[in-house]
A and B are shown apart, each in its own frame.
Chain A
Amino acid sequence: QVQLQESGPGLVKPSQTLSLTCTVSGGSIRNGDYYWSWIRQPPGKVLEWIGNIYFIGNTNYNPSLRSRLTISIDTSKNQFSLNLTSVTAADTAIYYCARDFAGCSDVWGKGATVTVSS
């Protein structure tokens, strides 16, 4: 049973970089059937797809975040990561990592709450 777990700071100062890691257990991140995604949910707002990555490093990003976003993967650690630079209060959200199969997210992490505040 594949499980995903987000980790990282819960509080980030404005203008700094938000960094989160998703650790995959119970399966290999090298499985070519899947992409690995980040999705966020601001308080009381709609889910927003951030981007995804394939095990060989191919990425797809939401154009609205592309200039600030990097998603990377470390197959040796079975982890993938999110870096979002120059954050503002608008980046406050619950951040989920997920496994994508044929486009949809079939396994999700529990979510990490990130607050942007000084």
Chain B
Amino acid sequence: DIQVTQSPSSLSASVGDGVTISCRTGQPIDSYLHWYQQKPGEAPKLLIDGASNLQSGVPSRFSGRGSGTDFTLTITSLQPEDFAMYFCQQTFDIPYTFGQGTKLEIK
């Protein structure tokens, strides 16, 4: 299985701050890396596919970068609704695997 290491596991920030979450894979996966947001009691929501393609309706303060083994999700100017869990997922090879998640909390 392709290991996906996500960091940090938790992050505290204030409204208006910018944050970056990282995912590193155990082998190169081209751009087959996707980012999800999950709020308590809800299903994950796809934010970014293919490392950098923002889904329709997702605010432009979210952005993704990377290729190969190193990827980042950046959120600029945090809004109250952004405080949630974030997961990355690789779909380069089966089984698809997820990162451990990053809990973004209000400072």
Task: Give the interface of A toward B (CB within 8 A).
Answer: 46-49, 60, 62-64, 96, 98, 101-106, 108-111
Contacts and interface: CB of A to CB of B under 8 A. Distances in A.
Contact of A104 (B43, B89, B99, B100): B89
B55 interface: yes
Contacts of B99: 46
Chain B interface residue number, banded: 20 to 34
B24 interface: no
Contacts of B44: 47, 96, 105, 108
Given A46-B101, A47-B101, 9 more contacts: A46-B100, A47-B87, A49-B97, A49-B98, A103-B91, A108-B44, A108-B45, A110-B43, A111-B43
A62 B91 CA distance: 12
B98 A104 contact: no
Contacts of B42: 110
Interface in B10-51: 32, 34, 36, 42-46, 49-50
B94 A60 contact: yes
Interface of B: 32, 34, 36, 42-46, 49-50, 55, 87, 89, 91, 94-101
Contacts of A106: 46, 49, 55
Contacts of A109: 43
A111 B45 CA distance: 12
A12 B62 CA distance: 40
B91 A108 contact: no
A30 B32 CA distance: 25
Contacts of A105: 36, 44, 46, 89
A108 B94 CA distance: 20
A62 B95 contact: yes
A80 to B, nearest CB: 17
